[in-house]
Amino acid sequence: MTAQSLGVCYYPEHWPEERWETDADLMREAGIAYVRIGEFAWSRLEPNPGEYDFGWLTRAIDTLHEKGLKIVLGTPTATPPKWLVDRMPDMVALDADGRPRGFGSRRHYCFSHEPYARECERIVTALAKAFGEHPGVAAWQTDNEYGCHDTVVSYSRAARDAFREWLEAKYGEISRLNEAWGNVFWSMEYRGFSEIDLPNLTVTEANPAHRLDFRRFSSDQVLRFNRRQVEIIREFSPGRDILHNFMGSVTDFDHYKLSEDLDAASWDSYPLGFLERDTDDEAHKLKYMRVGDPDLQAFHHDLYRACGRGRWWVMEQQPGPVNWAPWNPAPLAGAQRLWAYEAFAAGAEVVSWFRWRQAPFAQEQHHEALLLPDGSRNEAYETCRAVSKELAALDCKVVNMRADVTLVFDYESDWAWRIQPQGADFSYLKLVLAFYRGLRKAGLTVDIVPPSAEAVKERKLIVLPGLMCPNGELINELATSPAMILAGPRTGAKTDDFQIPSGLPPGDFRKVIDFDVWRVETLRPGAQVRLKNRDAGLCLERWREFARPGEGAMPIIESEDGHPALLANGKRAYLAGWPTEDLLDEVIAYCLEQAGLPRLTLPDGIRIRDHGPHRFVFNYLEDEQDISAFSGGGEIAVGGKRLAGAGVAIVAKRGDKVDR
Amino acid sequence: MTAQSLGVCYYPEHWPEERWETDADLMREAGIAYVRIGEFAWSRLEPNPGEYDFGWLTRAIDTLHEKGLKIVLGTPTATPPKWLVDRMPDMVALDADGRPRGFGSRRHYCFSHEPYARECERIVTALAKAFGEHPGVAAWQTDNEYGCHDTVVSYSRAARDAFREWLEAKYGEISRLNEAWGNVFWSMEYRGFSEIDLPNLTVTEANPAHRLDFRRFSSDQVLRFNRRQVEIIREFSPGRDILHNFMGSVTDFDHYKLSEDLDAASWDSYPLGFLERDTDDEAHKLKYMRVGDPDLQAFHHDLYRACGRGRWWVMEQQPGPVNWAPWNPAPLAGAQRLWAYEAFAAGAEVVSWFRWRQAPFAQEQHHEALLLPDGSRNEAYETCRAVSKELAALDCKVVNMRADVTLVFDYESDWAWRIQPQGADFSYLKLVLAFYRGLRKAGLTVDIVPPSAEAVKERKLIVLPGLMCPNGELINELATSPAMILAGPRTGAKTDDFQIPSGLPPGDFRKVIDFDVWRVETLRPGAQVRLKNRDAGLCLERWREFARPGEGAMPIIESEDGHPALLANGKRAYLAGWPTEDLLDEVIAYCLEQAGLPRLTLPDGIRIRDHGPHRFVFNYLEDEQDISAFSGGGEIAVGGKRLAGAGVAIVAKRGDKVDR
Amino acid sequence: MTAQSLGVCYYPEHWPEERWETDADLMREAGIAYVRIGEFAWSRLEPNPGEYDFGWLTRAIDTLHEKGLKIVLGTPTATPPKWLVDRMPDMVALDADGRPRGFGSRRHYCFSHEPYARECERIVTALAKAFGEHPGVAAWQTDNEYGCHDTVVSYSRAARDAFREWLEAKYGEISRLNEAWGNVFWSMEYRGFSEIDLPNLTVTEANPAHRLDFRRFSSDQVLRFNRRQVEIIREFSPGRDILHNFMGSVTDFDHYKLSEDLDAASWDSYPLGFLERDTDDEAHKLKYMRVGDPDLQAFHHDLYRACGRGRWWVMEQQPGPVNWAPWNPAPLAGAQRLWAYEAFAAGAEVVSWFRWRQAPFAQEQHHEALLLPDGSRNEAYETCRAVSKELAALDCKVVNMRADVTLVFDYESDWAWRIQPQGADFSYLKLVLAFYRGLRKAGLTVDIVPPSAEAVKERKLIVLPGLMCPNGELINELATSPAMILAGPRTGAKTDDFQIPSGLPPGDFRKVIDFDVWRVETLRPGAQVRLKNRDAGLCLERWREFARPGEGAMPIIESEDGHPALLANGKRAYLAGWPTEDLLDEVIAYCLEQAGLPRLTLPDGIRIRDHGPHRFVFNYLEDEQDISAFSGGGEIAVGGKRLAGAGVAIVAKRGDKVDR
Ligand SMILES: [Zn+2]
Ligand SMILES: [Zn+2]
Ligand SMILES: [Zn+2]
């Protein structure tokens, strides 16, 4: 079993060489095992075209290696230097307004630009040859945060030409594309693939099928770009893990599929930044301002565990205030530790802080680090050291288990619902998060999974809200599964061609539970669909479907105007709308009962996670909470029954003994 | 007298040919008389340049005709196919940012592009020759929804060149233009017409006179584009009505003037979509979410009755949720029927549902129809059938009467106030709608009219808020009219050259009532001008004028700071600001009393309309209402004294007998 | 001593020549001494390239001069005519989106465009030669409102090339620039100055050092542009004052530095427009809707007094509603008079109304003036006449004194904090204004000063919030100053290269008071940092620093979570966050006590200013206020103890006698 350990992101090129050894010593003292370096250093690795300078990097790696630190080496392809951009000015992406996205920050390249891709192969080959077999190099990171700053989609000429080829490869005949997209509508028919433009700057919305294919293409371009680097590294750096650091909340390409080319997944976790930037309830933002959303990180942990097929890291962990959210508060004392344990409890191999030392220059001056800009120790340094000691005492190791409960998250559905939200505030990601939150509030440990037959096998509860277009194998698996299944809203709403299924939604998903959705309506904020025998807090909002039960299906909950809100046929249920949080709690309780699964009712802000021999209890509030009811009754190894704000308790699971 | 009947919009090209006969049968069963087809089918009518394929359309028309349905044939010029755009890429409009508006949806053309206009002449000629004398073709529709998606104004080179010519034709000498626009201001003087650019992308606002002339030019370009089609159709399809389907809430070109080239006007009515997209009071949107604004459709009905000189249709009537508003709720049961009767009560010849069958592909997948995507009957199908039976039983016919009350709506004023709102929330359209709502709440039947002398003759009450620049004939007519006249705010505020009249506003309108407006102020939300002897609910908001009464004029209502709020001289009154809804009710009550007209006080959400032998009573609320006080005392032919939510009552007018 | 007088802005070219004499007579009757003319008249002065027509201007100047009026002649370079733009189309600025900013309004030029600058030299030379020694010409105004409509920064090719030169001149070697900017970060290193682009359209934020240098460059370009005109005027128009009319709230270039080339500063004061456009508290906007913010004008007066080294004007004073703010209410009766006295009380030489007569055409039709469009007298005409009589009776003269209290305002800090606000609502200008408001509420007369050693000498209280990078001389002066010093938040936070000081903030400012800022956090609206022993109204919001006191420094106020909120060491204090208004009052009270300065507690909306022999008392509320407690006890020359809304009292200072 893999021991769970700590890491850090380090930029030796930012600091005097004579400081490096001190840094390495301090890292060891803080209990750090892994150091990621190199991923933005192209201008130092190749200061002039074709003129490599790898000496400094060799010395940096040697210094760290000699102190016993393991290196994760990044490829520098997220930051091509200016001389390279000047040599091929059309390598930059164009935004949806048609404007070139210029040099001067990062990620200024178009995934479809072949000459740039070849430049990447060149630099990656040189690096892999130079460092691939260095004993200090334990792993690689390709590029950095694909998709960050909205960089997956490009409206460049290179993208347009590649899209035409992609479409031709997919459809073969233009008539098949015209039919799949329904181009007879509004005379959008094409006579050949070379007539097809990118779907931006149209007078009103472009064809959603056109847009979805462009999204799929754009995702594929990222995969293809990444794979070229992976193949080179595999050749020249045998035995090393290859990872990529996915960025939280980015869903513009398929992380499951890209991860198939990797050995493990990793992601960059900024709990306070994401709360501020990516959630939209003002009161919620204030409440969790200093500890972060109680479920958002856990959701990503579970997602990337699936991506990495059990192997995953947090590659960048927020250490203090960051610089990039609209507002950037400081964590509550202890919050950074809570975040680390939330990751370890979800099976992370490594939690790596971003960054080692706060940069006094350039864009991230107000992004905190383990060290202050002057090189002295900051708060997170002490946190790191303390966690490393606790980890050692607990002998934490990665334990992979198959959870009873699984929640399907699907990238294509996310693109599809963004293309056609129908209501201004519909969001697939938020819908799935709402279900995840409900499950977690019930004390459950959840596997997030891709929409595959394999992923849902051997479960007791399978939840798949909003899954646009479940494939045939998945449907067949579900149709014969003994598990409790909760689908909807919008599950099975579209075909693979972004059409309404013939015979109405949910199309072939009827094999799982039989009903028709004959109407969809969306509701502005404040509008509610009231339910029979329930008060206003338990209602549908935002999105509502009018469903007609088919064979065997019966309404479990009905609206006051006489339509099913929850349909069920034995252990298969379909929710015909967007539930309020309280209604979702009721629906989940119903499903757990059907599934024969136990259910807790965790208090506000308290979350638990079972991992191997331990139950972890987390307090996301700022105030102390009594957790005795949820600790599971075992011996409390860390923390206590009264858990301080941002506190963590680690309890030996009943019957187990804490191994220390 | 024309019988009132039902229609539907149909896209045979979307469905297998073998289905067409079934569709026609179902249409007959639903009581449909008119079928609009063809208006987006260019890529099917001319799949390759110059290669026409009219066979399928012939078969479709024959099929419908054989079942006794009457065809409205649309010209396909709103959706030029890709091959055409590729042949003349500069045919697309440029938006205000200078970006070309690309292919991939619809309306991607610039009205000023002469080669494209010639292509339109070519396809329209071919269609008119092929189908002009077909016995099934009862009428034509030119293009589709001119101006939808903000497509009237284009900043292309073609538009610029045409604008220069238009200006030269208007002004002759550049010195006259410089004087009319006041170009001495900020050294904006031109030495020739070829120096004039379009008024976009200026550093700060462009000259309002420049902008207004550009608006007038842009409107004229639409008229000219449409007229070329009309002339062709007249030549090759004698005896058929020519219509255009205007889009609700679009005011970017002069619908009165364009309609002069048509036989009848028609418009596309989406009560729930417009409520959500085009109104701005959140509580109002929630309240009327499922039935629509009680006055917005009626306003348009009255407007297009004026456009069509008494002859008008609803060409597209919302049948269920649509796909294009920010949120898209379902109508309350019965709402679609209410909408149909609101149109018939206003004298519509045809109410035509959009569309026959919900498309499972492309942009409008979530736009409901009479049939579901699978071809089965949806709610609106049954509504259509029921209405058709009621219509037959009532023997409804178009009755044209001249209303005692008239409200002037003027497109140029709308452009002018949008160019120079002075307060961020001033809107001429909303001002006129507020007056319309006040009149309708008083139980009145209103004619909306253009600002012409002829239109205001033989009236008892003439209302003209915000009419920028009444022409001399209109002023002379008003000056000698025995009617009660209510003007203001902002009536007569500008000359035809968009200048303040010499001698201050209202310029020559002083012949009607004598006063000066020496100051204008605009007020942010929350700011009020309190009135003497009135509580805060009766005040001026948003817009306020400081007026000085002239000869014979006296303040009827005064502000607490001592300025006239309502001025009057006998039967001429001027309102010097934007009234709250309650104040406007008081002002209208005053005017009705002066005019000797009766006045009702309809309860919230109830509206009435007298049409021929019938009084129609509409309930726009979701709850049942008692309407006995407003039914007029005659025999209730349809509905009852207690009217359900979205209900319609049809009452024989006292003394009349319901003709059935 | 200079007598304080009135002026007006006049556009003879807008009116018939036969009217000019009447206008001049009316000006004299209103007590006007100065008339600004000519600044937008290029198309009349040079109707065709190279063909000057100065005759009309000569006659206008002669007419005014003969009536005893003094002319301020403007250079017309803010409005190059269309023929000039057509000759050099690339003279226009490009906006941040890369779009050319077109002809059709004003300020459509790029400061870096050398051929345009030479055209300006040509026309200014011609004007200066023609009118420079005319006895009626008393002063000059260069251009008009540099920077208005966001026109300082241009992203043109001309700007890019000039920026590269500017950088090369500053840094000499590219390696020095790379180091100063920290370009090793994200591989942003350049190999030469010709590789550097402008910092727009980058994928995510550009390097803040890059942006700050671009801001400095852009400011320098304005200075350089202005200096070229000044040099010509000095040569051909000896003895005349040269001014520029700065626009309120514009901070995009360094007004102190530009003013070094001028004889006196002037600014354009629109109290109601600025309140509506530039403040952001809705309740505040409603409250002061008709009188204006009680401190915003005074702040600018004090700022421009510093710019002009004691000599300053209001070149444009709002006379009634304007046309350009989101809403444009009318002033309360008397407000225009209050504004004039607020300026005179701050030492203005001239208060000049904008404009003489309301233009019935072009962009500013709804901008009021002393005369109505029809030439009759408007409200502000009478106000002007009344003020002129009062001024004469009081014999008001400019008195320059060095205030005990000084507040540092620094343009570079403003640019820096706009580049890196860290919290979405951080604004340096608003921070400084908050301090200014606090000081003024305490009854103090304040000098706003640039961040120089000289400026802070001989003061009793020196306040410098947010001063990014105090220079060494200033720090040394402060370190030895006997004054009370109040700094922070964010004082000394950055080096001149936009880096965090080595050894942490406040860098060398530690010589003044010793502490470290080791952390910064920003807080969303609603989030508070509560303070020990203080209720919620006295807390930190928005911005908060975590400070560690150094030698001699002690916490005076502490947060509940145990960090210093106010640090002090004797007479040096540092505020570690953004205080609520009430907390700031407490801090200012503390500082005044330390400084041995008296303090008033003015009621809401009341402000005072001592100037020479007079105390002025202003009532910014709409209701009457009793001011006896604040009048200073002397004889009331104007007004009374009960001061009407928008009222002004002028009181002989105790011991002085009003000189009349
Ligand atoms: Zn990162
Ligand atoms: Zn339509
Ligand atoms: Zn101005």
- Give me the residues of C, 262-321, that contact B with CB < 8 A: 276, 282, 285-286, 289, 320-321
* Helix or strand (DSSP H, E) at B256: helix B255-259
Task: Check whether A275 has a pLDDT greater than 80.
Answer: yes
A48 belongs to an annotated ligand binding site: no
Six-digit token string for B374? 């699978």
Find tokens 């754009």 and name the residue.
A218
Task: Check whether B656 has a pLDDT greater than 80.
Answer: no
Question: What is the predicted pLDDT for the residue at C657?
Answer: 46
Of residues C9, C544, C473, the one with CA closest to residue A328: C544
**Residue percentage of chain A with pLDDT more than 70:** 99
Residues C337, C416: one domain? Answer: no
If you ran DSSP here, which 8-state letter would residue B48 be given?
B
Find the domain containing B505 and state its range. 405-595
On average, the pLDDT of chain B sits at 97
pLDDT bracket for residue B654 (50, 70, 90) = low
Interval A72-92 mean pLDDT:
98
Give a yes or no: residue B624 inside a domain. Answer: yes
Report the phi/psi class of residue B417: left, alpha or beta, with left for phi > 0 and alpha for psi in -120 to 50: alpha
Annotated binding residues of B for Zn(2+), as ranges?
Answer: 110
A139-148, pLDDT tens digit by residue? 999 999 999 9
**Residue percentage of chain C with pLDDT more than 90:** 96
If you ran DSSP here, which 8-state letter would residue A507 be given?
G
Residues C341, C374: one domain? Answer: yes
Task: Check whether B660 has a pLDDT greater than 80.
Answer: no
Of C343, C362, C394, at which residue does a domain stop? Answer: C394
Q: What is the CATH number of the domain that holds C545?
A: 3.40.50.880
Give a yes or no: residue C640 inside a domain. Answer: yes
* Helix or strand (DSSP H, E) at B653: none
Residues C380, C410: one domain? Answer: no
- What torsion, rounded to 10 degrees, do the Cα atoms B457, B462, B465, B468 define? 20
Give a yes or no: residue C350 inside a domain. Answer: yes
Name chain A contacts of B104, Cβ cutoff 8 Å.
Answer: 188, 197, 199, 202, 206-207, 210
B467-514, pLDDT tens digit by residue? 999 999 999 999 999 999 999 999 999 999 999 999 999 999 999 999
Of B338, B361, B394, at which residue does a domain stop? Answer: B394
Interval C27-48 mean pLDDT:
98
Q: What is the CATH number of the domain that holds A196?
A: 3.20.20.80
Stronger pLDDT, C633 or A234, i.e. the higher one: A234
Give whole-number Cα distances, C565 to C417, C587, C591, in Å. 21, 10, 15
Give a yes or no: residue C369 inside a domain. Answer: yes
C45-60, pLDDT tens digit by residue? 999 999 999 999 999 9
Lowest mean pLDDT among A4-8, A509-513, A531-535, A609-613: A609-613
Residues A401, A399: Cα–Cα separation, whole Å: 6
Question: What is the predicted pLDDT for the residue at A657?
Answer: 46
- Cβ of residue A195 closer than 8 Å to a chain B Cβ: yes
Query: Helices A428-441 and A296-307 meet at what angle, rounded to 10?
Result: 100
Task: Check whether C246 has a pLDDT greater than 90.
Answer: yes
Given A43, A104, A321, which is nearest C520 (Cβ)? Answer: A321
ipTM of the complex: 0.96
Give a yes or no: residue A266 inside a domain. Answer: no
Interval A627-639 mean pLDDT:
87
Six-digit token string for A597? 């699964």
Interface touch C191/A83, C-beta < 8 Å: yes
Of C364, C394, C424, at which residue does a domain stop? Answer: C394
Max Cα separation, chain A?
76
Question: What is the predicted pLDDT for the residue at B658?
Answer: 40
Task: Check whether A461 has a pLDDT greater than 50.
Answer: yes
C332-357, pLDDT tens digit by residue? 999 999 999 999 999 999 999 999 99
Task: Check whether A417 has a pLDDT greater than 90.
Answer: yes
If you ran DSSP here, which 8-state letter would residue B640 be given?
-
Q: What is the CATH number of the domain that holds A642?
A: 2.60.40.1180
| Chain B interface test: which of C48, C103, C287 (most B C-beta within 10 Å) | C103
Interval B345-350 mean pLDDT:
98
Of residues B222, B214, B201, the one with CA closest to residue B166: B214
Give a yes or no: residue C121 inside a domain. Answer: yes
C544-554, pLDDT tens digit by residue? 999 999 999 99
Q: With the C-alpha atoms ordered B253, B255, B257, B259, is the resulting torsion angle positive or negative?
A: positive
Interval B289-310 mean pLDDT:
98
Interval A490-516 mean pLDDT:
97
Residues C315, C342: one domain? Answer: yes
Distance from Cα A143 to the centre of ligand 1, integer Å: 11
Interface touch A86/C499, C-beta < 8 Å: no
Residues A151, A198: one domain? Answer: yes
Question: What is the predicted pLDDT for the residue at A631?
Answer: 81
Given A208, A519, A527, which is nearest B363 (Cβ)? Answer: A208
Interval B627-641 mean pLDDT:
87
Give a yes or no: residue B587 inside a domain. Answer: yes
A99-131, pLDDT tens digit by residue? 999 999 999 999 999 999 999 999 999 999 999
Task: Check whether A633 has a pLDDT greater than 80.
Answer: no
Distance of CA B160 to the CA centre of its chain: 28
Six-digit token string for C392? 């004469």
Q: With the C-alpha atoms ordered C594, C597, C602, C605, is the resulting torsion angle positive or negative?
A: negative
Task: Check whether B455 has a pLDDT greater than 80.
Answer: yes
Residues C358, C420: one domain? Answer: no
Residues C390, C416: one domain? Answer: no
Report strand pairing: C5-9 vs C350-353. Answer: parallel
Give a yes or no: residue B254 inside a domain. Answer: yes
Interval A210-236 mean pLDDT:
98
* Residues in a beta bridge with C651: C615, C636
C198-220, pLDDT tens digit by residue? 999 999 999 999 999 999 999 99
Stronger pLDDT, A148 or A658, i.e. the higher one: A148
Interface touch C186/A79, C-beta < 8 Å: yes
Residues C19, C109: one domain? Answer: yes
Lowest mean pLDDT among A356-360, A609-613, C192-196: A609-613
On average, the pLDDT of chain A sits at 97
Residues C103, C48: one domain? Answer: yes
Of residues C57, C11, C240, the one with CA closest to residue C132: C240
B60-81, pLDDT tens digit by residue? 999 999 999 999 999 999 999 9
What b-and-e string marks burial along C96-128, b requiring 16 or more CB atoms within 10 Å of the CB?
eeebbbbbbbbbbbbbbbeebbebbeebbbbbb
Burial of A169 (0-12, 13-18, 19+ CB in 10 A): exposed
Report strand pairing: C625-626 vs C642-643. Answer: antiparallel
Question: What is the predicted pLDDT for the residue at A654?
Answer: 67
Q: What is the DSSP track for A631-649? A: STTS-EEES-SEE-TT-EE
Six-digit token string for A421? 């939200």
- Give me the residues of C, 485-514, that contact A with CB < 8 A: 497-504
Residues C614, C476: one domain? Answer: no
C587-628, pLDDT tens digit by residue? 999 999 999 999 999 999 999 999 999 999 999 999 999 998
pLDDT bracket for residue A181 (50, 70, 90) = very high
Residues A526, A421: one domain? Answer: yes
Domain count, chain C: 3
Interface touch A195/B82, C-beta < 8 Å: yes
A106 belongs to an annotated ligand binding site: yes
Which positions of C are catalytic? 145, 316
Interchain CB contacts (distance < 8 Å): B and C? 167
Give whole-number Cα distances, C389 to A388, C31, C33, C382, C396, in Å. 81, 7, 13, 11, 11
Nearest CA in chain B to C331: B521
- Cβ of residue B13 closer than 8 Å to a chain A Cβ: yes
Q: With the C-alpha atoms ordered A241, A244, A249, A253, is the resulting torsion angle positive or negative?
A: negative
Stronger pLDDT, A1 or B23, i.e. the higher one: B23
Residues A471, A576: one domain? Answer: yes
A247-262, pLDDT tens digit by residue? 999 999 999 999 999 9
B562-581, pLDDT tens digit by residue? 999 999 999 999 999 999 99
Do A614 and A630 touch, CB atoms closer than 8 A? no
Interval C138-157 mean pLDDT:
98
C432-487, pLDDT tens digit by residue? 999 999 999 999 999 999 999 999 999 999 999 999 999 999 999 999 999 999 99
* Helix or strand (DSSP H, E) at A618: strand A614-619
